[in-house]
Structure 1
Amino acid sequence: MTDAVLLQTVDEDVIARRGVWATVRRRVLFWLPLAVLAVLLLMALVPQLFTSADPRACDISASARPSSPGHPFGQDLQGCDVYANVVHGARASLSVGLVCTLIALVIAVGVGTVAGYVGGWADSILARLTDVFLGFPFLLGAIVVLNSLGKRSVLSVSLVLAVFSWPTLARMVRTTVRATRDAEYVQAAKAMGFPTTRILSHYVLPNAIGPVLAVATLTVGGVIVAESTLTFLGLGLRAPSISWGLQLATAQSRFQQAPHTLIYPAIFLAATVLSLITLGDVLRDAVNPKGRS
């Protein structure tokens, strides 16, 4: 009986994954943001493919000069090429979003899985711990911590943002694990004497992690916006780092005289966040059976 249940579960899991793929592959709103993000990721990894200009080579005599031959986006207040800074700034902005979300996801999966699967006192303790972190407003907590740091790098900013990002994901992991732990195939695996680690890795997490990963995609976009906001306020990355947030912070004082210094990095930032949010919405609808059509 238990073997049959486990085999049936494997078949159902394969069918469900095929159903998700069959749903998303027919949607333009899946491929379009995916293409945009692929280009941006390539830009972050190999910026030399998009520009040969040095983002730190500046000519102060060309301060705030608009678009010109060799400088399609114009030059910023220091006379640096805006296009080169936008291209090279993609690495820091995307890195903060991805690293922060990855760290938050690891913490959330660990905490949420223990709380949801073990239950009892472990669930109570971890739930109170999650509530403590949820009690801190996301941006306010990040501002307080970052304000006390001397050096701010991509890793340090990512860690600080991850500290205040994981509780929401942890609650979702806990909910999905609790919904999965009482399933027939999990009970069958327990009856067959499988170790807890195997049950979690083979039967619980693969069936519970889908909705969490979809929401994690949305988290990346939110973190990128948060990093840009903090940098704009002077509390995020600092020069000589290059990021879209730093470009926006530098351009704000001369927006009326040189709007191009703010518009172009803002466009790339908006395109990135919009693509991530759209992709996350599509994936979230796909992994939810009620969202399939």
Structure 2
Amino acid sequence: MTTDVTTEAPVAAPAAPSRRRVVAGRFLASWRGRAGLALLAALFLLAFAGPPAAAWSFEDRDFLAFLSPPTAAHWFGTTQSGADVFVVTMHGMRRSLLIGLLVAVVSTAVAAVVGAFAGYYLGWTDRVLGWVTDLLLVLPAFLIIAVLSPALGQGAWLVMVGLLAAFMWMVTSKMVRGLAVSLRKREYVLAARFMGVPGYKIIFRHVIPNMSSLLIVDATLNVSAAILTETTLSYFGFGVRPPEVSLGGLIADGAATALYAPWTFWFAAGLLILTILAVNLAGDALRDAFDPASGGARR
């Protein structure tokens, strides 16, 4: 008499989700993340796909409709020169969004490199970079940009990106330095150093990647700060110069006619508010996704 003994194959344990999936799940689980992401996507789509869908171009002028209110022909009305407010506003929002993104990326990258090198090498490297950082912190950034603005010339908005980024990285670099001082003592960093890996490679391969959560959140929040700063400069005539336009310049131009032609002012101002709101919502949700203890339980 024989007895059949069947053995079941061991069931493999499910693989643990990666940190990227966990962060993405927390971000999308937050109403702030969903609302901010959806609003940002809608604003980008409107800024880049809106002007081609309109019947008027940025250079067109309707000489039969000066300061015309919103109509089927001009969705946002027209300006004093007959320009279509919708097309002009979309061009301005496009420029403001690009400036905000570029300034955020550049300033965060500079903060990461300066802070990581200062915290990893310490010594004279730390002192020199610390002196530069402290000096830039006490300089009046608004006045310096305002003085340099007339020399930029027309359409030099990329130079404005560099000027804004040059004064937005210092505080983050100090936080990065503190993290780098801690990371330089970790086992994987010490092992790489004992294997003869150069210091700059250790910084870019091990130190900076291990503080990516801080840098991503910082870059996200810097977008709104850069847009607001550029808008303020443009409002006072020190930012983007003609023939380029931005939301700040459009708000400044529309302020003179806001009482009797409010469409020249309120559409640009409203889109600026929506842009800042969307970026801040996404930034708060991203911060909570990386650090649930900071408030990730809120929905």
**TM-score, normalisation: structure 2:** 0.85
Is 1:281 matched with 2:284? yes
Residue of 147, 163, 166 corresponding to 2:166 = 163
How far apart are the structure 1 equivalents of 2:72 and 2:29? 41
Is 1:110 matched with 2:96? no
Is 1:232 matched with 2:219? no
Distance 1:143 1:203, change over 3 A: same
Query: What corresponds to 1:176 in structure 2?
Result: 179
Shift of 1:206: 1.5
Question: Unaligned 5+ residue runs, structure 1?
Answer: 1-10
How far apart are the structure 2 equivalents of 1:152 and 1:88? 13
Residue of 26, 30, 34 corresponding to 2:29 = 26
Answer yes or no: is the 8 Å Cα contact 1:24–1:283 preserved in 2: yes
Shift of 1:194: 4.1
Aligned residues: 282
Written as runs of structure 1 = structure 2, the 5 A alignment for 1:83-94 is 83-94=86-97
Is 1:142 matched with 2:145? yes
How far apart are the structure 2 equivalents of 1:160 and 1:179? 31
Superposed CA RMSD in Å reads: 2.3
Query: What corresponds to 1:37 in structure 2?
Result: 40
Work out the percentage of aligned pairs sharing the same amino acid: 33
Query: What corresponds to 1:5 in structure 2?
Result: none
Answer yes or no: is the 8 Å Cα contact 2:153–2:241 preserved in 1: no
Query: What corresponds to 1:69 in structure 2?
Result: 72
Is 1:248 matched with 2:219? no
In the TM superposition, what whole-angstrom CA distance separates every residue of 1:124-183 from its partner, at most 9, and x where no partner exists? 110110011111233233222224434452201111111111212322322222232222
Query: What corresponds to 1:57 in structure 2?
Result: 60
What code does the residue aligned with 1:99 have? L
How far apart are the structure 1 equivalents of 2:103 and 2:179? 22
Query: What corresponds to 1:131 in structure 2?
Result: 134
Answer yes or no: is the 8 Å Cα contact 1:50–1:87 preserved in 2: no
Answer yes or no: is the 8 Å Cα contact 1:33–1:279 preserved in 2: yes
Query: What corresponds to 2:216 in structure 1?
Result: 213
Between 114-123 and 32-41, the greater mean CA deviation after superposition: 32-41
Question: Unaligned 5+ residue runs, structure 2?
Answer: 1-14
Answer yes or no: is the 8 Å Cα contact 1:218–1:277 preserved in 2: yes
How far apart are the structure 2 equivalents of 1:178 and 1:147? 42
Specify which structure has the higher proportion of helix: 1
How far apart are the structure 1 equivalents of 2:258 and 2:181? 51
Report the 3-state secondary structure (helix = DSSP H, G, I; strand = E; otherwise coil) of the residue aligned with 2:256.
helix
Bigger radius of gyration = 2
Report the 3-state secondary structure (helix = DSSP H, G, I; strand = E; otherwise coil) of the residue aligned with 2:29.
coil
Distance 1:57 1:190, change over 3 A: same
Distance 1:21 1:87, change over 3 A: same
Answer yes or no: is the 8 Å Cα contact 2:51–2:57 preserved in 1: no
How far apart are the structure 2 equivalents of 1:222 and 1:169? 13
Query: What corresponds to 1:222 in structure 2?
Result: 225
In the TM superposition, what whole-angstrom CA distance separates every residue of 1:22-60 from its partner, at most 9, and x where no partner exists? 321211211211122123223444444543421321234
Query: What corresponds to 2:261 in structure 1?
Result: 258
What code does the residue aligned with 2:25 have? A
Residue of 177, 186, 189 corresponding to 1:186 = 189
How far apart are the structure 1 equivalents of 2:258 and 2:165? 32
How far apart are the structure 1 equivalents of 2:277 and 2:143? 24
